[in-house]
């Protein structure tokens, strides 16, 4: 185990149902292997139901409800994808406020696949460059963001560092980038 993220607690925010399992478990393992403490937050369940595309997969215990969570207790945020997961999150005012708080505090945020939908709802993509699942391109551009089709994109502009990727095939690059950026901490 490495120690790049030693003494860092990373929030993983998901809805009660619909998170793409590998987009949760792969970065989670990367954070753990880097010495960090991953914590699962959700919007209203004690366990979340993950999916492998459209098929139910495993369930995972929730550490804390986002309505009760203080962003100050976390060093960075990961927004996994899955189509349903961020669609539910972007309609939850606590999830949106929690996400926006990381930008206000200049803390790093990582989102993969459909995860940037929550960023669009939080109003934090204006003048930022990011990638996502291709179907989000218009939403990102309508929110005044710049969309690129890249495996991983690290956008240092704006109040914080934003790491984004397109899909599960991009997870190795996504994990590497988020560990590197999360180790740096909040933007000065």
Catalytic, out of 63, 113, 146, 155 = 113
- Whether pLDDT at 169 is above 90: yes
pLDDT at 2: 83
Calculate the average pLDDT of the chain. Answer: 96
pLDDT digits (tens, 9 = 90+) for 67-104: 999 999 999 999 999 999 999 999 999 999 999 999 99
Catalytic, out of 32, 53, 63, 114 = 114
pLDDT digits (tens, 9 = 90+) for 117-162: 999 999 999 999 999 999 999 999 999 999 999 999 999 888 899 9
Return the bridge partners of 59, or none. 49
- Whether pLDDT at 27 is above 90: yes
Mean predicted confidence (pLDDT) in 5-25: 97
Query: For residue 162, which phi and psi values (nearest 5 degrees)?
Result: -125, 125
155 noted as active-site residue: no
- How many alpha carbons fall within 13 Å on the CB side of residue 98? 30
Q: Which domains does the chain have, with CATH numbers?
A: 9-184 (3.40.50.880)
**Do residues 122 and 102 lie in contact, with contact meaning Cβ atoms separated by under 8 Å?**
no
Return the bridge partners of 173, or none. none
Q: Is the dihedral of CA 149, 154, 156, 162 positive or negative?
A: positive
């Amino acid at each position: 185990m490495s120690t790049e993220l030693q003494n860092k607690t990373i929030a993983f925010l998901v809805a009660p149902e619909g998170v793409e399992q590998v987009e949760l478990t792969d970065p989670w393992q990367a954070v753990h292997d880097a010495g960090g403490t991953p914590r699962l937050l959700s919007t209203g369940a004690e366990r979340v139901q993950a999916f492998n595309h459209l098929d139910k997969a495993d369930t995972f215990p929730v550490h804390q409800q986002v309505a009760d969570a203080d962003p100050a207790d976390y060093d960075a945020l990961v927004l996994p994808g899955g189509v349903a997961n961020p669609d539910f999150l972007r309609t939850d005012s606590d999830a949106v406020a929690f996400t926006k708080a990381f930008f206000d505090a200049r803390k790093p945020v990582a989102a993969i696949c459909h995860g940037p939908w929550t960023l669009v709802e939080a109003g934090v993509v204006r003048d930022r460059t990011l990638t996502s699942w291709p179907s989000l391109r218009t939403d990102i551009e309508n929110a005044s963001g710049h969309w690129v089709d890249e495996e991983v994109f690290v956008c240092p502009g704006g109040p914080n560092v934003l790491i984004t990727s397109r899909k599960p095939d991009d997870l190795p690059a996504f994990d590497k980038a988020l560990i590197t950026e999360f180790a740096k901490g909040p933007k000065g």
